[in-house]
Amino acid sequence: MTSVKRPVYLDYHSTTPCDPRVVEAMLPCFTETFGNSSSRGHVFGRVAEELVEDARRRIAGLLGAQASEIIFTGGATESNNLAVTGAACARREAGDGNHVVSCVTEHKSVICPLERLEDEGFEVTMLPVDERGRIDLDVLSASLTENTILVTLMFASNEIGNIHPIAEVARRAHEVGAWVHTDAVQAIGKVPVNVNDLDVDMLSLSAHKFYGPKGIGALYRRESPRRVKLKPCIIGGGHERGVRSGTHNVPGIVGLATAFELAVQEREEESRRVAALRDRLESQLIEEIEGLVVNGDHEHRLPNNLSVSIPYVDGEALLLSLDDVAVSSGSACKSETAGTSHVIKALGREEDDGRGTIRFGLGRWTTEEEIDFAVGRVSETVNHLRALSTL
């Protein structure tokens, strides 16, 4: 076997290394074109502003949007908060209603704002999922009323890789006049993402999930035919058409646009490659580990995701023992919270079964040798922990 550089990184869902081509595009922004894009009175500011607006146009083109529909944020968590809270509050103030629909398997950056909205008097419906993490579209339709102002549903799950039927969700939601937001953070670079094909009103993305820098994201906000208005979450300065104040992160914005372009250009070939690696990983783990269960929808899922539950093993103990393979038990944003993931619980798993869940995220630099090495280390560690376990 070819020597494998350790530790092996298989946690591309939590973050990705910045592509050297992205770094190269960003570097001049730190020392040469370093101006404040709001300082239009001199050439440094005007050059920075043009970099921002050029990136905005490029990102819009990749999504099938207009440049004026792109709002830069500090990342997906901010984008999700702005979309969910900003849209719900704006629509309630306009007298449109106060009912919001979402799903129990959403990311915490959607669930927590929804909980706050409930505290503020909004009615929130959380759709259940079946044992594979799929929503029932008829249950969605039954939940929609003339009081529904927003439906927010993740495009692709960061934990189990499920891809939801967003276009059909949008069609049904729009029949009652609701706006639709989707967290597309995990979908960029893995599956096609076009706001017109999906007919969504808002869409969140984050650069560090597709080989761009951390701390920069964007929110698509539709202007036509449904003009989406948002109540700002960050005020003071009037940047981003008054929706999101704060000095532009010019290097990050340039990096976001460059990473997005590369992700789209290389998506088809890269998705085929990592899907083959994912299938190799899955088949070998099933063969090596007795009782292993693959989580999620086997048909409609991301090509780079594999979530498995391993009975009679504590997931945290497994992660701590795998010091040369970087995997996770679920979302990086809940890593400080002990216990079974809310996503795995939603599939109907018992607490003991869910605790043995680990997530593999494959990426641009994953190799066959790394997959084979990971299988060996995981199976070896599982056997060792089971021998010590009293379960």
- Which residue reads 């300065």 in tokens? 237
Paired with 150 in beta bridges are 100, 179
The pLDDT of 94-105, averaged and rounded, is 97
For residues 118 and 208, membership in a common domain is answered with: yes
- Do residues 220 and 110 share a domain? yes
CATH number of the domain bearing residue 164:
3.40.640.10
The whole-number pLDDT of residue 314 equals 86
Asked if residue 37 lies in contact with residue 49, where contact means CB atoms within 8 angstroms, the answer is yes
Domain that holds residue 180: 20-265
- CA–CA gap between residue 387 and residue 361 (Å, rounded): 27
Same-domain status, 167 and 41 = yes
Q: Does residue 90 lie within any of the structural domains? A: yes
Contacting residues for 385 by C-beta, under 8 A, at least 6 apart: 313, 314, 317, 318, 321
Tell me what pLDDT residue 233 has. Answer: 85
Report the distance separating Cα 182 and Cα 200, nearest Å: 7
pLDDT tier for residue 366 given thresholds of 50, 70 and 90: very high
Q: Are residues 261 and 315 in the same domain?
A: no
- Domain end point (choices 234, 250, 265): 265
Record the tokens describing residue 353, joined without a space: 């079964």
SS (H, E, C) 317-351: HHHHHCCCEECECCCHHHCCCCCCCHHHHHCCCCH
Asked if the model's pLDDT at residue 332 lies above 90, the reply is no
Say how many C-beta atoms besides its own lie within 10 A of residue 275's C-beta: 17
- Helix 250-265 / helix 43-63 crossing angle, nearest 10 deg: 30
Q: Which residues lie across from 308 on neighbouring strands? A: 294, 358
The pLDDT, as a whole number, for residue 359 is 96
pLDDT at 237: 77
Q: Is the pLDDT of residue 337 over 80?
A: no
pLDDT tens digits, residue range 272-302?
Answer: 999 999 999 999 999 999 999 999 999 999 9
Name the phi and psi angles at 157, rounded to 5. -70, 135
Query: Of all residues in the chain, what percent carry a pLDDT higher than 90?
Result: 85
pLDDT range class, residue 351, cuts 50, 70, 90 = low
Confidence of residue 38 (pLDDT cuts 50, 70, 90): confident
In this structure, the chain runs to a length of: 391
- 338 domain-assigned: yes
- Give the active site residues: 333
61 token code pair: 């083109």
The last residue of one of the domains, among 265, 288, 310, is 265
Q: Looking at the structure, do residues 81 and 224 belong to the same domain, yes or no?
A: yes
Q: What is the pLDDT of residue 120?
A: 96
Considering the domain architecture, whether residues 214 and 276 belong to the same structural domain is answered as no
Nearest-angstrom CA–CA distance, 129 and 23: 40
Distances (CA, A) of 295 to 134, 146, 161, 378: 11, 35, 9, 17
pTM: 0.94
> Do 165 and 244 belong together in one domain?
yes
The answer to whether the CB of 204 falls within 8 A of the CB of 83 is yes
Residue 368 CB neighbour total at 10 angstroms? 13
pLDDT on residue 245 = 81
Other Cβ atoms less than 10 A from the Cβ of 93: the count is: 10
**Helices assigned H by DSSP within 211-266:** 250-265
If you write DSSP's letter for every residue of 101-166 in order, what string do you get? EEETTS-HHHHHHHHHHHHTT-EEEEE---TTSPPPHHHHHHH--TTEEEEE--SB-TTT-BB--H
Question: Nearest 10 degrees: CA dihedral of 274, 254, 83, 137?
Answer: -20
Over residues 76-91, the pLDDT tens digits come to 999 999 999 999 999 9
Instruction: Give the whole-angstrom CA distance, residue 391 versus residue 239.
Output: 56
Give pLDDT tens digits for 133-164.
999 999 999 999 999 999 999 999 999 999 99
Annotate 5-17 with b (16+ C-beta within 10 A) or e (fewer). eeebbbbbbbbbe
Q: Are residues 241 and 308 in the same domain?
A: no
**Domain stop point among 225, 242, 265:** 265
Q: What is the average pLDDT across 246-271?
A: 97
pLDDT of residue 236: 83
Backbone angles phi, psi at 318, to 5 degrees: -65, -45
Q: Does residue 318 share a domain with residue 217?
A: no
pLDDT given for residue 339 in this prediction:
64
Give yes or no for a contact between 382 and 389, defined as CB atoms under 8 angstroms apart: no
1 found inside a domain: no
Confidence band for 1, pLDDT divided at 50, 70 and 90: very low
Closest CA to 71 of 270, 234, 241: 241
What is the end-to-end Cα distance of the chain in Å, rounded? 35
User: Tell me, what's the pLDDT at 386?
Assistant: 92
Name residues whose C-beta falls within 8 Å of residue 142's C-beta, 6 or more positions apart in sequence.
none
Number of domains in the chain: 2
Query: How far apart (Å, rounded) are the C-alpha atoms in residues 55 and 261?
Result: 10
199 lies in the same domain as 300: no
Q: What is the pLDDT of residue 353?
A: 60
Taking the C-alpha atoms of residue 252 and residue 299, their distance in angstroms, rounded to an integer, is 35
3-state secondary structure of 168: helix
* Position 61 in a domain: yes
Q: What is the mean pLDDT of the chain?
A: 93
My answer on whether 227 and 275 are in the same domain is no
Choice between 78 and 235, residue whose per-residue pLDDT is larger: 78
